[in-house]
Amino acid sequence: MSNQENSHWVDFFLLLKKWQRFLIINVSAFTLLALIIALLLPKWYRAEAKILSSGSEVGALGLSSLISDLPFEGLGLLPKTDETLRYLAILNSRTLMMGIIKQFDLQTRYDKPNWEKTLKELQENTNFDVNADESISIYALDKEPEFAAKMANTFVQKLDSINIALRSEKARNDRKFMQVRLDQNKQELAQAELNLKDFQEKYGVIEVTQQARAAVQTIAELEAQILLTETELRYKSNYLAASHQDIQNLTAEIKELKRSLHEIQFGTDGASSNSEPGFLISGRDVPGLAMGYFRALRDVEVQNIIYKILTQQLEQAKIMEAKQTPTLQVLDWAIPPVYKNRPKRSLIVLGALMFSALISIFYILSVEKWRQLKANLTN
């Protein structure tokens, strides 16, 4: 540090010493005023309740095990959603907030003229945080610790009741959709069985090899999976945007399934001179009548697989619709806090001390600068 810089610091400290009485009085008065205000401010207490998602409700009763023998999963009309985001959306919803306002008469408690200002005040006095373990902490602030704890626990209870209602409504819509699809499947299955029966009555029973039957079964399973995935895509397209990840995944899955079916039907080179579409074996090995029989048998197999899946999913939707069990797990119910959350009196006093010191120093420098300029003009 140069001598000139040392001289500037010496002048600065001498200046502060010259004004020390002013500094002490001004900073002390301002800090004392801040301390009085901090002591007069009402205490606010924050209560915390912590919840954990109970996980996906799809297959929760073990129904998914009934279709484990199939080469693909169920229809998926009861989608596995991100429970954490779902809970946060419900907690921040106006429906839940207004329920809290009405139950505790917060418009009177907060002394607000209308529900909109009351809602805004409630939003400022609540907070919802997602923790590293994916649990959700529900915080409620109030001047009374008992009331803060009671309000936090009420948030948990109303979250569960709303989630149960939404789950039942979703299951009811799924049930209606699957009932319609199942009725359609019954008609298609009856028609496929009738076609097979008419073929057998006309041409008699066709003797086929084990390889041919395996071919029919494989193709039927793939075609059933394609039909079910397309049904799921149409269903989800009713309430999801085309850019949604679920829609894109289903579209890609259908494309891949159709590619696999095409390879089975025509081979990996895209075409085969000695094969008929829809079979794993060559046209020379399968006579014309057998080919017709395979087509009729394949249609029956496809509709049977779809019927099995839809029946199981429909029963699961009925159970989910009637289910009223809790949808979340409470890790910690809120209890009245012992220590206040605000005001932070030490921060208020420290901030006032630093602010008053800076303002006082700025005032001193400004006055001295003005005096120096005035003296220069006089000379």
pLDDT surpassing 50 at residue 378: yes
0.75 exceeded by pTM: no
Residue extents of the structural domains in the chain: 3-41+343-378, 45-332
Q: What is the mean pLDDT of residues 278-298?
A: 61
Of 65 and 162, the structure prediction assigns the larger pLDDT to 162
Residue among 316, 286, 314, 312 nearest 298 (CA):
286
3-class SS of residue 251: helix
Q: 91 to each of 73, 155, 326, how far by Cα in Å?
A: 32, 7, 16
User: How far is it, in rounded angstroms, from Cα 318 to Cα 101?
Assistant: 34
Percent of the chain topping pLDDT 90:
35
User: How far is it, in rounded angstroms, from Cα 197 to Cα 192?
Assistant: 9
Q: What is the mean pLDDT of residues 125-136?
A: 91
Q: Which two tokens stand for residue 267?
A: 């081979």
Helix axes 245-266, 210-236, angle to 10 degrees: 160
pLDDT surpassing 80 at residue 196: yes
pLDDT surpassing 90 at residue 29: yes
Q: What confidence score (pLDDT) does residue 206 get? A: 64
Q: What is the mean pLDDT of residues 160-188?
A: 90
Q: What confidence score (pLDDT) does residue 159 get? A: 96
Q: What is the mean pLDDT of residues 267-290?
A: 49
Q: What confidence score (pLDDT) does residue 279 get? A: 43
189 Cβ contact list (under 8 Å, min separation 6): 300, 303, 304, 306, 307
User: How far is it, in rounded angstroms, from Cα 3 to Cα 11?
Assistant: 12
Q: What is the mean pLDDT of residues 327-345?
A: 91
Angle at 106 between CA 105 and CA 109, to 5 degrees: 100
> Under a CB-based contact definition with an 8 Å cutoff, are residues 309 and 70 in contact?
yes
Of 145 and 57, the structure prediction assigns the larger pLDDT to 145
pLDDT surpassing 60 at residue 17: yes
Q: What confidence score (pLDDT) does residue 54 get? A: 60
Residue among 72, 50, 69 nearest 224 (CA):
72
> Under a CB-based contact definition with an 8 Å cutoff, are residues 83 and 53 in contact?
yes
Q: What confidence score (pLDDT) does residue 125 get? A: 96
Lowest mean pLDDT among 133-142, 211-220, 223-232, 298-307: 211-220
User: How far is it, in rounded angstroms, from Cα 104 to Cα 126?
Assistant: 14
b or e along 38-67 (b: 16 or more beta carbons within 10 Å of the residue's beta carbon)? beeeeebbbbbbbbbbeeebbbeeebeebb
Which one-letter DSSP state was computed for residue 2?
A: -
Q: What confidence score (pLDDT) does residue 94 get? A: 95
User: How far is it, in rounded angstroms, from Cα 346 to Cα 41?
Assistant: 13
Q: What confidence score (pLDDT) does residue 101 get? A: 97
Which one-letter DSSP state was computed for residue 44?
A: B
pLDDT surpassing 50 at residue 74: no
Lowest mean pLDDT among 33-42, 116-125, 290-299, 340-349: 290-299
pLDDT surpassing 80 at residue 19: yes
b or e along 148-168 (b: 16 or more beta carbons within 10 Å of the residue's beta carbon)? bbbbbbbbbebbbbbbbeebe
User: How far is it, in rounded angstroms, from Cα 312 to Cα 307?
Assistant: 9
Q: What is the mean pLDDT of residues 350-367?
A: 92
35 Cβ contact list (under 8 Å, min separation 6): 345, 348, 349, 352
Q: What is the mean pLDDT of residues 201-222?
A: 72
Share the mean pLDDT of the chain: 82
108 Cβ contact list (under 8 Å, min separation 6): none
pLDDT band at 52 (very low <50, low <70, confident <90, very high): confident
Q: What is the mean pLDDT of residues 15-27?
A: 90
Rg over CA atoms, the chain: 37
Which one-letter DSSP state was computed for residue 276?
A: -
346 Cβ contact list (under 8 Å, min separation 6): none
pLDDT band at 142 (very low <50, low <70, confident <90, very high): very high
Q: What is the mean pLDDT of residues 177-196?
A: 90
Of 257 and 267, the structure prediction assigns the larger pLDDT to 257
> Under a CB-based contact definition with an 8 Å cutoff, are residues 232 and 238 in contact?
no
pLDDT surpassing 90 at residue 68: no
pLDDT surpassing 80 at residue 237: yes
> Under a CB-based contact definition with an 8 Å cutoff, are residues 66 and 309 in contact?
no
User: How far is it, in rounded angstroms, from Cα 292 to Cα 220?
Assistant: 15
pLDDT band at 229 (very low <50, low <70, confident <90, very high): confident
Report which residue type is found at 179.
Answer: Q
Q: Which two tokens stand for residue 28?
A: 């002390």
DSSP strand pairing (328-332 vs 136-142): unpaired
